[in-house]
Amino acid sequence: MANLDILIYPDDRLRNVAESVTNVDDDLRALIGNMFETMYTAPGIGLAATQIDVHQRVVVVDVSENGDQPLTLINPEIIESDGRIEHEEGCLSIPGIYESVERPELIKFAAIDRDGNPYEMEADGLLSICIQHEIDHLNGVLFVDHLSALKRRRIKKKMLKHEKDRPA
Amino acid sequence: MVFVLADTDVRLLAARMLTSVVRDGKSLSELLPSAQLELEAQHAALLQELTYGVCRNYAKLDAIVDQLLKKSLRNKDTDVRMLLWLALYEIEFMSKPDYAVTSSYVDLTKKIKKPWAKALINGSLRQFLRNQESLTDNATLKNPHSLPEWLQKSINKDWPEQANSVFEAFSARAPLTLRANTTVTTREKICQIFKEADIQTEPCEHVDSGFRVIDGPPVTALPGFSEGEFSVQDQSAQLAAFLVNPQPGERVLDACAAPGGKSCHLLELQPSIQLTCLDNNAERLKRVEQNLQRLNLQANVVTGDAAEPGTWWDESPFDAVLLDAPCSALGALRRHPDIRLLRRESDIKALGKQQIGLLRSLWPLLKPGGRLIYATCSVLKQENEKCMDKFLAETPNAIETPIDAKWGTAGSHGRQILPGEDQADGFYYAILHKQ
């Protein structure tokens, strides 16, 4: 397995809309393994393939305290949502920025697991927020897009300023 | 997405920590430091405010909960009770917006895997908000100082005239008191450096080494801390080394040394003494070694039980023994508000047995002409002068040397400082000479 490079905002490739997965095979499972490793190393609680410059609809999440509840979502779709919840979010592609985002509180989603089996599941709390955040990535949307234009501009400026300090 | 710690997560941590205190008898000083290490400063501060604040006001919070619940919660649902205490504390004492607090604690019932408690917490908090004033007033009336009943009785019995000021001191916030390391600097020099950094100080009344920081950053961020120019120590505890009054070359035993504040002070006063730092807790002895190292001092650090000198003593007698005995620590209650929840009336009797046992086992270690300084941070006579009464009555070659001092009050034996006197912790000292 390998630890992969994560794209950093504002990178145009984070704006790509990912393609649906047509075939769940060993290559895809290898990608999923690398995504989990990259996410746990970061450390993060969710990662979308878009963030490692792979534009397929694949998401990995694990919101458990001990990092022992990995969940793979291939071609995820939210089919129902309800309520509102506000929570501070942060993103591996936007390091150091944390802002409160309002989203639906409860979701029901459909996806395919790493063995190619379709499943449906309900989520609330942090898991719900995290899945919505990652599905956004597959559509080229970042959590800062949910903020006011003013806040977004300030974050973009800050990120561009730090870009110079980061090792290439 | 990355995990961002929210106030709700800190609340959960606080609820778990308080559950360990109430149900398992763990102390906050065991639990808090390691948890705070992993938190950002603002969340570490919130965790401390929540846990300390709830302990300081537990009896009042519990009296409110009693009025809200139709039947009391079972022991295994202590965590649910802690959620209620915390929510009430935030609303009543921290003036947090009640809607946000309620919804956050209602949500936490899921995190502690007790979804059945959702309605209970929601209902109780809403009922509280409807009658906040009368419920709080009733609770205050019932227990104005938020102290366990046995403790109020004991203080009233031992200190009938001073009881009220003792109760008030129990709830007051303690000052940050430091001890200048006089081997490398003076109190005046440090206070001057602090002043230049805009940190206000005031000197302690009864010890030349001590001063209080009136308003400043966390202690480790004060200028000169890592260089070992000062240590944290309450004024009362700083008296111990002066009372031992170590002379050049003497053999001195600090019998319950951890975490080492008094040991280091003894060496600062007289670096040429041969000091043995004894404690039965190897884990806590590491702190003694860290403190000695930070202050660049030398001592013989020994893991052993002071009650069984046969297992560690090399048979060469001591000129002086400092017995800072295990005690109820009630004199330092304002610094350790969880003592309110942890201490039981039956502990006092058990501690009394341990205290007299230590006196008996350490007495033979003194040279004839040697001295033993008995200290506790308790305010109960049973742990202090009554313990001395008993030991002196049964030990013909032990003679008390009365302490002539401006601090504290003389009792039948020794001197008692009550908490809050000159802003100091409650403490007891007595000096015994061996004939």
**pLDDT per position as a tens digit, B71-97:** 889 999 999 999 999 999 999 999 888
Least confident of A156-165, B76-85, B224-233: A156-165
User: Which residue on chain B is closest to A129 by alpha carbon?
Assistant: B1
Q: Which helix or strand (DSSP H or E) is residue B233 part of?
A: none
Domain identity same for B327 and B353 = yes
Q: Which residues of A touch B110 (CB under 8 A)?
A: 125
Closest CA to A39 of B5, B115, B2, B376: B2
Instruction: Give Cα separations from B365 to A3, B280, B325, B356 (angstroms).
Output: 63, 17, 16, 15
Contact A45 B2 (CB under 8 A): yes
Domain of residue B210, CATH code: 3.30.70.1170
Per-residue confidence band for B111, with pLDDT thresholds at 50, 70 and 90: confident
| Among candidates A87, A92, A125 on the partner chain, residue whose Cβ is nearest the Cβ of B2 | A92
pLDDT tens digits, residue range A86-118? 888 999 999 888 888 999 999 999 999 999 999
User: Which residue on chain B is closest to A142 by alpha carbon?
Assistant: B1
Largest CA distance in chain B: 74
Please report whether residue B129 resides in a domain. Answer: yes
pLDDT tens digits, residue range B376-401? 999 999 999 999 999 999 999 999 99
- 3-class SS at B343? coil
Catalytic residue among B55, B264, B327, B377: B377
Domain identity same for B63 and B139 = yes
Domain identity same for B245 and B347 = yes
CATH code, A12-163: 3.90.45.10
Q: Which residues of A touch B4 (CB under 8 A)?
A: 87-90, 98
Instruction: Give Cα separations from B54 to A132, B40, B74, B86, B435 (angstroms).
Output: 36, 21, 20, 6, 50
Domain identity same for B285 and B406 = yes
Domain identity same for B18 and B139 = yes
Per-residue confidence band for A168, with pLDDT thresholds at 50, 70 and 90: very low
Closest CA to B382 of B149, B49, B58, B153: B153
Contact B1 A129 (CB under 8 A): yes
Q: Which residues of B touch A45 (CB under 8 A)?
A: 1-3
Would you give the DSSP letter of residue B148? Answer: -
Instruction: Give Cα separations from A96 to A61, A99, B69, B229 (angstroms).
Output: 20, 10, 44, 36
Q: How far is A159 from chain B (nearest CA, A)?
A: 17
pLDDT tens digits, residue range B164-222? 999 999 988 899 999 999 999 999 999 999 999 999 999 999 999 999 999 878 888 88
Domain of residue B74, CATH code: 1.10.940.10
Residue A157: burial class (beta carbons within 10 Å; 0-12, 13-18, 19+): exposed
pLDDT at B132: 94
User: Which residue on chain A is closest to B6 by alpha carbon?
Assistant: A88
- Contact between A58 and A21 under an 8 Å Cβ cutoff? The reply is yes
The three state secondary structure string of A39-68 is HHHCCCCEEEHHHHCCCECEEEECCCCCCC
Distance CA B305, CA B286 (A): 16
Tokens of B165: 């000021």
- 3-class SS at A133? helix
- Contact between B257 and B277 under an 8 Å Cβ cutoff? The reply is yes
Distance CA A120, CA B300 (A): 66
For Cα atoms A158, A162, A166, give the angle at the middle one, nearest 5 degrees.
Answer: 160
* Domain assignment of residue B200, given as a range: 176-222
Domain identity same for B185 and B121 = no
pLDDT at A167: 54
User: Which residue on chain A is closest to B111 by alpha carbon?
Assistant: A125
- 3-class SS at B300? strand
- Contact between B388 and B325 under an 8 Å Cβ cutoff? The reply is no
Number of Cβ within a 10 Å radius of residue A41: 10
Q: Which residues of A touch B (CB under 8 A)?
A: 42-46, 61, 63, 87-92, 98, 125, 129-130, 133-134, 143
Q: Which residues of B touch A61 (CB under 8 A)?
A: 1
**pLDDT higher at B132 or A125:** B132
Q: How many CB pairs under 8 A join A and B?
A: 34
**Percent of chain B scoring above 70 in pLDDT:** 100
Pair type for strands B415-417 and A58-61: unpaired
Distance CA B255, CA B284 (A): 13
Per-residue confidence band for B305, with pLDDT thresholds at 50, 70 and 90: very high
pLDDT at B249: 96
Domain identity same for B48 and B120 = yes
Contact A46 B1 (CB under 8 A): yes
Q: How far is B100 from chain A (nearest CA, A)?
A: 11
Pair type for strands B366-376 and A106-112: unpaired
Q: Which residues of A touch B6 (CB under 8 A)?
A: 87-88
Mean pLDDT computed over B14-39:
92
pLDDT at A162: 74
- Write the DSSP assignment of B20-59 as a string of letters: HHHHH---HHHHHHHHHHTS-HHHHHHHHHHHHHHHHTHH
Contact B2 A133 (CB under 8 A): no
Q: Which helix or strand (DSSP H or E) is residue B285 part of?
A: helix B282-294
Distance CA B312, CA B310 (A): 6
Contact B2 A63 (CB under 8 A): no
Please tell me the total count of domains within chain B: 3
Please report whether residue B156 resides in a domain. Answer: no
Q: Which residues of B touch A (CB under 8 A)?
A: 1-4, 6, 107, 110
Contact A45 B107 (CB under 8 A): no
pLDDT at A85: 87
Catalytic residue among A65, A88, A122, A134: A134
pLDDT at B216: 79
Residues 6+ apart with CB under 8 A from B59: B142, B143, B145, B146, B147, B148, B340
pTM of the model: 0.78
A134 catalytic per annotation: yes
Q: Which residues of A touch B3 (CB under 8 A)?
A: 43-45, 63, 90
Q: Which helix or strand (DSSP H or E) is residue B354 part of?
A: helix B345-362
Q: Which residues of B touch A98 (CB under 8 A)?
A: 4
- Contact between B17 and B34 under an 8 Å Cβ cutoff? The reply is no
Least confident of A38-47, A62-71, B226-235, B285-294: A62-71
Q: Which residues of B touch A125 (CB under 8 A)?
A: 107, 110
**Percent of chain B scoring above 90 in pLDDT:** 86
**pLDDT higher at B352 or B216:** B352
User: Is pLDDT above 90 for A160?
Assistant: no
- Contact between B98 and B91 under an 8 Å Cβ cutoff? The reply is yes
pLDDT at A165: 61
Q: How far is A71 from chain B (nearest CA, A)?
A: 14
Mean pLDDT computed over B220-228:
87
Q: How far is B121 from chain A (nearest CA, A)?
A: 18
Q: How far is B83 from chain A (nearest CA, A)?
A: 18
Query: Bridge partners of A99?
Result: A89
All structural domains of chain A with their residue ranges: 12-163
Q: How far is A131 from chain B (nearest CA, A)?
A: 9
Closest CA to B80 of B88, B26, B138: B88
pLDDT at B70: 87
Q: Which helix or strand (DSSP H or E) is residue B362 part of?
A: helix B345-362
- Contact between B389 and B402 under an 8 Å Cβ cutoff? The reply is no
Tokens of B4: 């961002």
Domain identity same for B410 and B294 = yes
Domain identity same for B120 and B186 = no
- Contact between A87 and A64 under an 8 Å Cβ cutoff? The reply is no
Which residue, among A14, A71, A89, A126, would best test binding to B if mutated, counting the most B CBs under 10 Å from its CB?
Answer: A126
Contact B3 A42 (CB under 8 A): no
Number of Cβ within a 10 Å radius of residue B272: 10
Per-residue confidence band for A159, with pLDDT thresholds at 50, 70 and 90: confident
| Among candidates B4, B107, B110 on the partner chain, residue whose Cβ is nearest the Cβ of A88 | B4
pLDDT tens digits, residue range A79-92? 999 999 888 899 99
